[in-house]
Structure 1
Amino acid sequence: MLRVELWVWNLWQSQSHNNTVRSWAWLSYENLSFAVLPGKFNRSVFDAPAKAEVSDERLAVLNEKLNSTDFVVYDEKFFDIVGPQAKVEHVQALAFRSHEAPCMVPGTNDLFFVEWGPSGNNTDGVHDWQYLLNTKTNELRKITTSPPTINVHGCVPFNGFIYVVTDGGPDETGYLAKIDPKTWKRTTLINHYYEEPFGGFNDLAIDPDSNFYLTDSRSGWGKGIVPFTPPQNPSTYFVNGTTMRPKLLQTTTGNANGVAISPDGRTLYLPDTGVSQYYPVKKNPYGARELWAYDFATASSGAKCPTLTNKRLLNNPITYFYDGIRVSNEGWIFCGAGHGVDIIDPETGLALGSIRVGGGKNVAVSLAFGFHEFWIVGQGGVWHVSGIKPALTTK
């Protein structure tokens, strides 16, 4: 890498064998020029640092350069994860709507994802198709399950199938379903809590014992996707994979969003995104935008009916809020964070660095792991990130 020392932070470029140029920045409080900024400065919590309003012209120039970077480093550990040949490619430019529920279809090169909320000219937010992106050819097509599945919001591959959760819609409550990618047949697994409708599922995780962890939010109601007021506060449910019996595991007065489990099965990660108010739809900078960690009271997540203990604040994002989250084989936490994907140290909670999606013009919502690569979906389309050093998942 060719490094250029600048006044406030370090900016440099790396170039691969095919002449692809990548730009990096390293923000370190050990550098006094960064720890103590000149002039006046301010920014919204929804804006990346490079978008701050500043009075000093030199800082404004550096912010312009910072906003053009592909990678922002906050900690040297970032280089243990993202290698010098890493690159970010915008592989699909789609309508500036929120795209969600990415997951790799088992046994294929296809990335499954959806367009969430009001779609195209359809103002009620209801559609019964999903996207498939061939990650080798970049061919994009739409598919429909049998029976049709509407308003998918989260997706996880597991044991040859993909499992999805939905917000529900005008005629049905949110539900958990299994989809066979060979036939696209959909089997609904659960759609109520003792005849109480779910508010609208946002995301899910599955532990090695085939148990489910489902986050139930108010986002679908806020978007007008479901016609009824959710009966509960946003919550996380445990569903036993054998009996399918649900249990309320956690609740919040903020909002439920992503969910992930540590590789050793001992820790559950849940972002609270009360910052994104659901009705009326708006973003409140004083709302919750926190990443919480919980321990399972039993030895691991594989209990027949787990309980949570030792709730602790792991991280408050530098910018925006954490939406979709995934945990790698080595335990690193990857979070969709607006201007890009943040990588979080599970022990300290510190953000190690950010992988950006276009200078703040787009919004990273969620992601799906490949082996040494991953895909980001959000407002603006789909991005491919390659050059990740450790294996993110098993083949």
Structure 2
Amino acid sequence: MRSYAVSSLLLAHHCLALSQYLSSLPTEFQSSHAKWAWVSYESPAVAVIPGSFNRTALQAPHEGDASDPIVREAFSQLNETDFVAYDQRFFHLIGPDATIDHVQELAYQTHEAPCFDQATGNLFFAEWGPPGGDNGTHDWQYLLNTRNNSLQKIKTDPPTYNAHGCVIYDSQMYVVTDGYEDVETGQLVRIDPNTWRHETILNNYHGQPFLGFNDLDIDSDGNFWLTDSKSAFGRDLIEFSNPTNPTIYFVNSTTMRPRPVHITTGNTNGIAVSRSQADPSVHTVYLPDTGFSEFKPVSRKNPLGDRALFAYDAAEGGVLKNARFLNNPIAWFYDGIRASKNGYLFAGAGDGVDVIDPVDGLTLGTIRVGGGENVAVSVAFGKNELWIVGRGGVWHVNGVKEELARDW
């Protein structure tokens, strides 16, 4: 009897210690269909980890090592979750009815350029770079009918090679590409989703080829913001070396004149533009630097490389002002990034999609894609849902409390 009592006491102590690291969920989330965890620095067990512990910038929190068995178990439980909250605001934003489903399991290949057409229910996205395609070159894209979960490969007319980013604006799809080999340089193209007719609308800066576009966003005035990256050369999609350092271009949609507005010795990747709720003429631009990911002469992830997220005020003509450091990822680096209707930032960050407050820069929580080899790369919004594409396929997050899709 005494042995049983001692065992029960130890078990109760273990559960109490574990619950101190993983805070109790709000009542309405305890019966959620999704699996939630709450990690709060208000808990002393989170603020001060006993024993030895370690985690690199290349590892998600659940991959961290700790000598204390209770902490190790807490990390393990994080890997069983769908949503991890770091701030109470994440609960209010996502809500208890949200679910995440892995709707398409694809090769562990980078998938990019998601565009969700709310009118048709179609999700356009691309497979990017080697080892897929013809030596890494893709002249086709995926189209997922989200209403019946059927997937097909499509080709535009003429074909769009190596699509890397996509945004829908005024019922048209705008796609940026890497170009391919020595045949075609990076381009900004317009695609009619009804006919799949492709039209190139920009392919040079005063005769200089672009490095290879990675992503884009469009502001509420219809102007383009393009990230020109060294990733295409780094993955041997193009044969010429970089004519300049990675650059952000602002393109006036009326004149189509490109203007460099930011340059980095790291790398450009995703970009997001949001509009002030108080003053619709004011835009904020968010830029993550991904110098963390190096290509040549050796392909590697450098934990000392740039991976910070900065915010800028966009002045007339695309001039970026009032630069401010906003966030450094908890893990990995920010790939595709999008701003929701109310300005929250959703960024692919390896293990999942981080949701970031645009004012204080805090990571409010993470929408996880299951761990293992799965990697969240980029997102596209519906009204109360989002689609995540990345290594491992496509995930659908449904029943989100916050309205996500922008009104432009």
TM-score range, shorter chain: over 0.9
Higher deviation after alignment, 260-269 or 130-139: 260-269
Query: Does the 8 Å contact 1:119/1:127 carry over to 2?
Result: no
Q: Deviations over 1:285-326 (max 9, x none)?
A: 000011110112x3xxxx4x2211111110000011001111
Find the aligned partners of 2:190 and 2:226 in 1 and give their Cα distance. 14
Find the aligned partners of 2:325 and 2:406 in 1 and give their Cα distance. 29
Q: Secondary structure at the match of 1:85?
A: coil
Find the aligned partners of 1:91 and 1:102 in 2 and give their Cα distance. 14
Partner residue of 1:367?
Answer: 379
Amino acid at match of 1:367: V
Partner residue of 2:79?
Answer: 67
Give the drift of 1:56: 1.5
Give the drift of 1:106: 5.6
Question: What is the correspondence of 1:218-257 to structure 2 with a 5 Å cutoff?
Answer: 218-257=230-269
Q: Secondary structure at the match of 2:201?
A: strand
Partner residue of 2:209?
Answer: 197
Query: Does the 8 Å contact 2:219/2:274 carry over to 1?
Result: no
Query: Does the 8 Å contact 1:373/1:385 carry over to 2?
Result: yes
Query: Does the 8 Å contact 1:48/1:360 carry over to 2?
Result: no
Amino acid at match of 2:136: G
Partner residue of 2:396?
Answer: 384
Partner residue of 1:156?
Answer: 167
Give the drift of 1:230: 1.2
Amino acid at match of 2:34: R
Amino acid at match of 1:163: Y
Q: Deviations over 1:167-204 (max 9, x none)?
A: 11011100000000111000000101111110000000
Query: Does the 8 Å contact 1:74/1:352 carry over to 2?
Result: yes
Give the drift of 1:134: 0.8
The one of 76, 79, 86 aligned to 2:88: 76
Query: Does the 8 Å contact 2:250/2:260 carry over to 1?
Result: yes
Partner residue of 2:11?
Answer: none
Q: Secondary structure at the match of 2:45?
A: helix
The verdict on how the C-alpha distance between 1:11 and 1:129 changes in structure 2, with shifts beyond 3 A counting, is farther
Partner residue of 1:273?
Answer: 290
Q: Deviations over 1:128-156 (max 9, x none)?
A: 00000011100000100000011000000
Find the aligned partners of 1:81 and 1:187 in 2 and give their Cα distance. 38
Partner residue of 1:291?
Answer: 309
The normalised TM-score by structure 1 is 0.93
The verdict on how the C-alpha distance between 1:326 and 1:91 changes in structure 2, with shifts beyond 3 A counting, is same
The one of 55, 66, 81 aligned to 1:43: 55
Amino acid at match of 1:9: L
Does structure 1 residue 28 correspond to structure 2 residue 9?
no
Q: Secondary structure at the match of 2:222?
A: coil
Query: Does the 8 Å contact 1:14/1:22 carry over to 2?
Result: no
Q: Deviations over 1:193-242 (max 9, x none)?
A: 11111000000011122110000000010000010111110010011101
The one of 127, 144, 156 aligned to 2:138: 127
Find the aligned partners of 1:11 and 1:220 in 2 and give their Cα distance. 45
Query: Does the 8 Å contact 1:67/1:360 carry over to 2?
Result: no
Question: What is the correspondence of 1:102-141 to structure 2 with a 5 Å cutoff?
Answer: 102-105=114-117, 107-120=119-132, 122=134, 124-141=135-152
Equivalent pairs counted in the alignment come to: 384
Give the drift of 1:7: 3.5
Partner residue of 1:8?
Answer: 21
Find the aligned partners of 1:49 and 1:220 in 2 and give their Cα distance. 30
Identity %: 53
Find the aligned partners of 1:159 and 1:14 in 2 and give their Cα distance. 42
The one of 155, 176, 189 aligned to 1:165: 176
Give the drift of 1:66: 1.2
Find the aligned partners of 1:237 and 1:107 in 2 and give their Cα distance. 30
Find the aligned partners of 1:239 and 1:219 in 2 and give their Cα distance. 21
Find the aligned partners of 2:300 and 2:48 in 1 and give their Cα distance. 33
Does structure 1 residue 142 correspond to structure 2 residue 129?
no
CA RMSD across the alignment: 1.9
Query: Does the 8 Å contact 2:356/2:363 carry over to 1?
Result: yes
Higher deviation after alignment, 202-211 or 179-188: 202-211
Q: Secondary structure at the match of 2:21?
A: coil
Give the drift of 1:107: 2.5
Higher deviation after alignment, 238-247 or 97-106: 97-106
Structure holding more helix per residue: 2
| Runs of 5+ unmatched residues, structure 1 | none
Larger Rg: 2
Structure holding more strand per residue: 1
Partner residue of 2:5?
Answer: none
Find the aligned partners of 2:23 and 2:122 in 1 and give their Cα distance. 38
Find the aligned partners of 1:245 and 1:50 in 2 and give their Cα distance. 46
Give the drift of 1:369: 0.2
Query: Does the 8 Å contact 2:118/2:382 carry over to 1?
Result: no
Find the aligned partners of 1:242 and 1:266 in 2 and give their Cα distance. 18
Q: Secondary structure at the match of 2:74?
A: helix
Query: Does the 8 Å contact 1:29/1:35 carry over to 2?
Result: yes
Amino acid at match of 1:34: V
| Runs of 5+ unmatched residues, structure 2 | 1-14, 277-281
